Amino acid sequence: MTGQGGWPMTVFLTHEGKPFYGGTYFPPEDKWGRPGLKTVLRSISQAWKSRRQEVLRSSQSLTETIQASAAATGSAPLTQKTLEVAVSAFARQYDPTHGGFGPAPKFPRSHSVSFLLRAWVRNRDSKTLEMVEKTLDAMAHGGIHDHLGGGFHRYSTDGRWLVPHFEKMLYDQALLARSYLEAYQATGKQIYADVARDIFEYVLRDMHDPDGGFYSAEDAGEVGKEGEYYVWRPQEIENVLSAVEARLFNRFYGVAPGGNFENGATILSIESPVEKFAQQERIPAEEVRRRLAAARQKLLAARNRRERPHRDDKILADWNGLMIGALAYGARVLDEPRYAQAARDAATFLLDRMQSEGRLLHRYRDGEASIPAFLDDYAFFTWGLLDLYEATFEVRWLSEAKRLTQEMMALFWDERTGGFFLSGKRNERLVAQTKELYDGALPSGNSVAALNLVRLGQLTMDKEFQTKADRIFEVFSGQAGQAPEAFPQFLIALDFRLGPSQEIVIAGDPGDPQTRRMIRAVHEKFLPRAVLALHPEDASAAQVEALVPFLKEQRPLGGKPTAYICQNYVCNLPTTDVEKMVSLLGGGRGESR
């Protein structure tokens, strides 16, 4: 309507469902030169009565514009040059002082960071990695990070990541956890592993339904008191901690009289990393960590006695899919079985409680699941299941990922021009079937679907998956070629498709310590274009062979666990030696391939 971004929260429709007017936000009353909702309603009513034909023409024109936009396709080829153009664009937007991209407000957009990590694997340019690390460090140290309760707030209202909009979203926790885990794999820096654990502990403690699913969000606070639950004043801290504890805590987290927020309150943030702070205080770093951790526990207990912001306890299939994938990835990288079990429980919840006649549903609350699933539900849940398979090697998850992808293709695929519609054959009929690609706060369904199709095609050798993925790249090549930095998750899928890919098979008894050492060595590496499969020596072997046919001949040598490291299906000589396997893999802990 205006050529600008933003969600029209209020839209007026004709009886046929065609939009003719809308706006992002109308206050209740006229304010600051903007019409209030009451004024808008009177104007719309008068226009409908006296100028209806003009309104109908406007609705028809707007509908045709939406339909034309939804049908747009492109044909420019996407190559490695597309990835390079995106990196250059991010470099121009990069804030070298505070990290992040562009001016305030700053959103995490962690898939931008994840894309840049993949670009660094290709270009080995230290400036690319610097953009990643500066951004992740600044967010971890800033007020957007809840230093007591864990997790991240939705976005920063300022350029320093200090003053957040205090709402917490499940999808942010999932996406950010993944980016910090990838950075840990790539660099080996412990801070990134610690931040990922911090996110997971928050989600498992405060956002976890007892039956296995994950809640959607926590509000910013009471109306008119946003952030009050999270901020502190010196006296409040001194009432909980001893004088010595309070002094150390306040210096580290920047709590001072006058504060950095409203009404003299302070949003906790970190000015200096622990090591530098410990030197300033002339206290061993480990001692500082121990004392700060103890203080945080006491203050969190005190904060829990405050009136907690409202929690949105509906369970959404798409956002749960993101968290399942993040937890599964965390289980791999951090060698933490609890995270794998939480991911299993959530996946089981979605499959048992959020399906009807074998078809996925979008929303669950208070025992009721409803609304036929959208593209994002299928794509994000499949993403999670693929990660869950590579974390546990339980064939069920790979089988379900394949089934859901086939169902997604049947329900959402555009047979005329290609790509996936947001709403499918079971959803409400709208004035236009749109195909989304923009990777904003959330990645788009098409971007994630493309990645899933590439991974599934590589694992299963099913040509239909690969053909569909290639068609997606063709359909959206015009958009992605014009401004590739707007589609970082799409570029992650493209990076995988451009290759070179890796196919890694561990053949052996999953209970054998040597098998586990091999798997662990793979999980420690940052291998963004690899798929991993286990060829077990048990009853499940036939099932996995049916899904992953290329591993049929890849068996243990001499009865010992054996690794097969392949590139584009061309395999090195198999090895039973873990160190030899690691040298063939490349990637991870400051290395890449």
Spatial distance between the Cα atoms of 591 and 526, rounded to a whole number of angstroms: 9
Q: Is the dihedral of CA 154, 159, 160, 164 positive or negative?
A: negative
Do 342 and 391 form a contact (C-beta atoms < 8 A)? no
Distances 369 to 349, 405, 592 between C-alpha atoms, Å? 11, 21, 44
Sheet holding 562-567, edge to edge: 530-535, 502-507, 562-567, 570-571
Tokens of 239: 């009432």
Sheet holding 217-218, edge to edge: 168-169, 217-218, 311-312
Closest by CA to 268, choosing from 256, 282, 285, is 256
Dihedrals φ, ψ of 424, to 5°?
A: -115, -160
- pTM of the prediction? 0.93
Q: What does each of the 593 residues of the chain score in pLDDT, given as a tens digit? A: 665 666 678 999 999 888 998 888 888 888 877 889 999 999 999 999 999 999 999 888 888 887 776 665 666 789 999 999 999 999 999 999 999 999 999 999 899 999 999 999 999 999 999 999 999 999 999 999 999 999 999 999 999 999 999 999 999 999 999 999 999 999 999 999 999 999 999 999 999 999 999 999 999 987 668 899 999 999 999 999 999 999 999 999 999 999 999 999 999 999 999 999 999 999 999 999 999 999 999 999 999 999 999 999 999 999 999 999 999 999 999 999 999 999 999 999 999 999 999 899 999 999 999 999 999 999 999 999 999 999 999 999 999 999 999 999 999 999 999 999 999 988 888 877 889 999 999 999 999 999 999 999 999 999 999 999 999 999 999 999 999 999 999 999 999 999 999 999 999 999 999 999 999 999 999 999 999 999 998 878 999 999 999 898 899 999 999 999 999 889 999 999 999 999 999 865 544 33
Is 317-498 a CATH 1.50.10.20 domain?
yes
DSSP string, 325-363: HHHHHHHHHHT-HHHHHHHHHHHHHHHHHSEETTEEEEE
Do 6 and 24 form a contact (C-beta atoms < 8 A)? yes
Residue matched to tokens 């070629």: 481
Give the chain's count of helices (H) and strands (E): 22, 15
Instruction: Tell me the CATH number of domain 502-585, given options 3.30.160, 3.40.30, 1.10.760, 3.30.70.
Output: 3.40.30
Give 164's strand partners.
156
Range list of H helices, 367-526: 375-392, 395-412, 445-460, 463-475, 477-482, 488-498, 513-523
Do 111 and 488 form a contact (C-beta atoms < 8 A)? yes
- Tell me how far apart the terminal alpha carbons of the chain are, to the nearest angstrom: 46
Residue 580 DSSP label = H
SS3 561: coil
Contacts of 474 (CB under 8 A, 6+ apart): 74, 75, 418
Q: Where in the chain is the domain with CATH 1.50.10.20?
A: 317-498
Do 139 and 162 form a contact (C-beta atoms < 8 A)? no
Q: Where in the chain is the domain with CATH 3.40.30?
A: 502-585
Spatial distance between the Cα atoms of 303 and 268, rounded to a whole number of angstroms: 13
Closest by CA to 537, choosing from 568, 569, 505, is 505
In which region does residue 389 sit, left (phi positive, over 0), alpha (psi from -120 to 50) or beta (all else)? alpha
